[in-house]
Amino acid sequence: MPIPKEQQRELNEKGCILIPDVLSQSEIEMYKARLLELAEKEREDGSGRVHTNGLGQHVRWLVNKGEIFEKLVAHPKVMPFFEYLLGVNYTLSTLTSNIISPGASDGGYHVDNALGAMPEPLPSFPMFVNSLWLLDDFTPENGGTRYVPGSHRSLTKPPSGLANHPQEVRLSAPKGSVFLFNGAVWHSAGANRTGKARIALICFCCRSFLKPMFDFVHYLKPGVVERATPVMRRIYGFDSQPKPPDVPKHNKRDTRAI
């Protein structure tokens, strides 16, 4: 089902939208407990991906870290927004998370992934769409994402070293909701001036012709691939791979579809 016209307009104009009530209270608790457990384990074993002077942490490759994360990949309440912005054959680029601990300062303004390396003007249509699945209430005080509504329409990247912007907004939104935005919107995690961490799952998708950040096709665990529905397989990128080499027709052992 396509999203209503009003939401299409909001996404076109502001570049972002809040989708309410995506996760239930029990899902929030389940994801949070598992993420905190993974974050601690990864800090201890040295694989932890910390940032912002050690006060931020990404736990990445979530699809390989528990079956519970697989249902985020093709969530019926969120998929129509990705489809509207990226086309019905969009793919997953990363399924990750961002934990912002007390004392973390504002992150640096950026646009997402390859947009940061592209010459201006940036493409006038969406290439990447990010979504933050809030596992805590986000506020301007606890690290609520800061962003500049409509900045995707400038077709430029944020000036380097941009500290604040006159139109900057800091996200206030309840846990369980999803903040979805065009990756060309200037944004960053906010400073956390409270005594508690602020946690979000992140599902980041791209057009099917772009290279995703993570290679799901070759590195998903076998059980994850077996459980994937055809739609999930497409989202993981199985339907948008570069072609393998041509092989002689009499080579009966080769069953690849070319």
Binding residues for ligand AKG, rule: CB under 6 A, are 98, 112, 130, 132, 145, 187-189, 200, 202
Which residue lies nearer to ligand AKG by CB, 152 or 228?
Answer: 152
Which residue lies nearer to ligand AKG by CB, 200 or 205?
Answer: 200
Asked if 133 contacts 252 with a C-beta cutoff of 8 angstroms, the reply is no
Which residue lies nearer to ligand AKG by CB, 84 or 128?
Answer: 128
At closest approach, how far in Å is the CB of 21 from ligand AKG?
20
At closest approach, how far in Å is the CB of 188 from ligand AKG?
5
Amino acid at 174: P
- Report the C-alpha gap between 143 and 173 in whole angstroms: 12
- Report the C-alpha gap between 17 and 126 in whole angstroms: 14
Instruction: List the helix and strand counts (H, then E) for the chain.
Output: 6, 10
E strands within 23-104? 49-51, 56-58, 91-100
At closest approach, how far in Å is the CB of 247 from ligand AKG?
41
C-alpha count within 13 angstroms, C-beta hemisphere, residue 59:
26
Which residue lies nearer to ligand AKG by CB, 144 or 228?
Answer: 144
At closest approach, how far in Å is the CB of 173 from ligand AKG?
11
